[in-house]
Amino acid sequence: MKHRKAPWAPTAGAAVVLLALTGCGGAASAQPQDDTFVFATGKDISCLDPHVNGDMPQASIAANYLDSLVSQDAEGKIHPWLAESWEVSEDGLTYTFKVRDDVYFTDGTKFTAEAVKANLDHMVDPDTQSGTAGGYLKPYESTEVVDETTAVVTLNRPYAAFLEVLAQPFLGIESPTALKRPQAENCNSPVGTGPYKIVDYIPQSKVTLVRNEDYNSAPPFAQHQGPAHIKNLEWQIVPEDSTRYGLLRAGQVDALDLMPSVHFAEAEADKNVELVLQDRPGNPTNLMLNTTRAPFDDIRVRKAFLHSVYVEAGINSVYFGTVTQAGGPLASTTGFYSPDFEDVYQPDPAKAAQLLDEAGWTVRDEEGYRTKDGKRLTVVLPYTPAAWPTAHAALITQLQASAKQAGFDLRIENQDFASSSEKYNNFAYDLRAGYWNTNTADVLRIVFSTEYMKSAGFVPNGSGFSNPEFDRIVNDALATDDPAVREKLYYRAQQIVSENALQLPLYNQASQLAVRKDRFANLTLEPSLSLPYIYDVTAVENR
């Protein structure tokens, strides 16, 4: 598109004045350009390097500047990517990767087997504080570099989900040269072999990326080879739901994620907007019940809580039915998911009352809360509103109200992210809001097994559940390739989680993107975690 001058001058002038009057910051971008794709993400990115920590916003942007060792297709099958081929030893403990010989990082470093070792070692290094990637690699022992294109990875136990997690952007391959820099520096400017490279990062504001002109390592799920179609990629951080959507409507951004549910109907009716929706596999959005302290150390109180809250009504009202309600420990899109656990805990005030009576919470105080030995039935939920969609905050307020009917004093304590993270990592809560997106049923081991009660960075097992039978089952499931055996084991694992009332499942995590289809086409989702994939995006002609 050419830059148009005179006819627009008054409008532009008026816009500038209006911006000045309303006190809005930021650049009033003139006409949108077809060589720049502006994506607005709804959640702040703590560190651009997805090895560190490991929250979804990091993986989202990583999918656009990092390649992975292997790739996964929409059916869940594993394909080559930076690794051309691999062999797995009979005992499942040794993976021999043959990697490509013609790929370079955007800082000029050559991609070799040495880079594989540097990356895996970086993820498991305690200093990296890698809750997600490092968490996935607990079975990782070491990597031996045989020659420039051969890396032998040794595990300390069979890990059937190893290739699947390697396909996730959380485990994307970064330049070993860049990784040697101090962590803070690498957080701001990580380097990959991907279709885009990071040129600038203004924390809490935006990341500027530019096309990697030498890109030659597109994955099998991509629709073309060579450099990306769009030259510039701007990744804006816009946490305010209504602002993000307003920017899309006004044409100041071309796409957004975390599409606000309240605007779904309007967006669907908008001929310029297309929604890209996909439920994600893993452990659904939930409230985790802390079993390591009173009152949720008592299974009767946990069950009573699950029977006392009305999730469905909340989802229908504040989410307008834009998310899929979840009832069991696995999202319905996860492999080995069983629907048998969806309806185990229906709202049932009579049952909740009976369970609480049995547990000794028999007296109600003047405000209607149950008490035991003069102590009120209080459960604390440390909460950071900025980390969640607007609708989520409304939903938990509704849960608070329904829990009150049963006699629970559910305290939502709003605080900043650092404060809630600290409590979340030290079991200093009764309820914890969370989710775990991953492309395998092995998520059960991550979120509920004893091993994950401790972690560098984020602690995945927030219920503090520790059960030898469960631990054995989820580890056995990794030691076999037989789907029938795995299915049986994962069924039992889901059953144990459900029986023990460890979390209140709310709804499936989902990628909910909106894109301006009058400007750009072909915004797809990378298949491992359903994250926005800009590589194949094309500008719409003659707009």
Binding site for another protein (CB under 8 A): 240-242, 246, 260, 262-263, 266, 310, 313-314, 316-318, 385, 390-391, 393-394, 396-398, 400-402, 411-415
| Minimum CB–partner distance for residue 418 and another protein (Å) | 10
| Minimum CB–partner distance for residue 413 and another protein (Å) | 6
| Minimum CB–partner distance for residue 384 and another protein (Å) | 8
| Minimum CB–partner distance for residue 422 and another protein (Å) | 13
With CA atoms as reference, report the closest residue to 462 among 504, 525, 403, 508: 504
| Minimum CB–partner distance for residue 512 and another protein (Å) | 15
| Minimum CB–partner distance for residue 404 and another protein (Å) | 8
Token output for 160: 């059937």
3-state secondary structure (DSSP) of residue 519: coil
Residue written as token pair 């109200």? 401
3-state secondary structure (DSSP) of residue 148: coil
Nearer to another protein, 98 or 411 (CB): 411
Q: Distances from the Cα of 518 to the Cαs of 252, 264, 524, in angstroms?
A: 13, 18, 16
Nearer to another protein, 103 or 318 (CB): 318
Terminal-to-terminal C-alpha distance of the chain? 9
CA–CA dist 268, 64 (Å, integer):
27
251: left (phi over 0), alpha (psi -120 to 50) or beta: left
| Minimum CB–partner distance for residue 125 and another protein (Å) | 31
Asked if 346 contacts 307 with a C-beta cutoff of 8 angstroms, the reply is yes
Nearer to another protein, 232 or 243 (CB): 243
- Reply yes or no: is the peptide bond before residue 295 cis, omega within 30 of 0: yes
| Minimum CB–partner distance for residue 27 and another protein (Å) | 23
With CA atoms as reference, report the closest residue to 73 among 192, 215, 222: 222
Phi, then psi, of 36 in degrees rounded to 5 = -130, 125
| Minimum CB–partner distance for residue 405 and another protein (Å) | 10
CA–CA dist 34, 214 (Å, integer):
21
CA–CA dist 237, 30 (Å, integer):
19
Nearer to another protein, 206 or 263 (CB): 263
**Enclosing H/E stretch for 151:** strand 150-155
| Minimum CB–partner distance for residue 319 and another protein (Å) | 10
Nearer to another protein, 264 or 535 (CB): 264
Nearer to another protein, 80 or 246 (CB): 246
Nearer to another protein, 323 or 330 (CB): 323
Nearer to another protein, 8 or 417 (CB): 417
Token output for 79: 């394909």
| Minimum CB–partner distance for residue 72 and another protein (Å) | 35
Nearer to another protein, 194 or 260 (CB): 260
Please state whether beta strands 510-516 and 273-279 pair in parallel, antiparallel, or not at all (unpaired).
antiparallel
CA–CA dist 472, 156 (Å, integer):
15
CA–CA dist 121, 179 (Å, integer):
11
CA dihedral of residues 282, 286, 287, 292 (deg, nearest 10): -20
| Minimum CB–partner distance for residue 229 and another protein (Å) | 33
CA 54-457-206 angle, 5° bins: 40
What count of other Cβ atoms lies within 10 Å of the Cβ of residue 22? 7
Diameter over CA atoms, the chain:
78
Asked if 322 contacts 427 with a C-beta cutoff of 8 angstroms, the reply is no
Nearer to another protein, 396 or 510 (CB): 396
- What does the DSSP assignment read for 11-71? HHHHHHHHHHHHT--S----S--TTEEEEEESS--S-S-TTSB--HHHHHHHTTT-B-SEE
User: Facing residues of 233 across strands?
Assistant: 37, 209
The single-letter code of the amino acid at 239 is P
Report the residue count for the chain: 543
Nearer to another protein, 213 or 268 (CB): 268
User: Facing residues of 140 across strands?
Assistant: 155
Nearer to another protein, 133 or 399 (CB): 399
Nearer to another protein, 82 or 318 (CB): 318
| Minimum CB–partner distance for residue 51 and another protein (Å) | 30
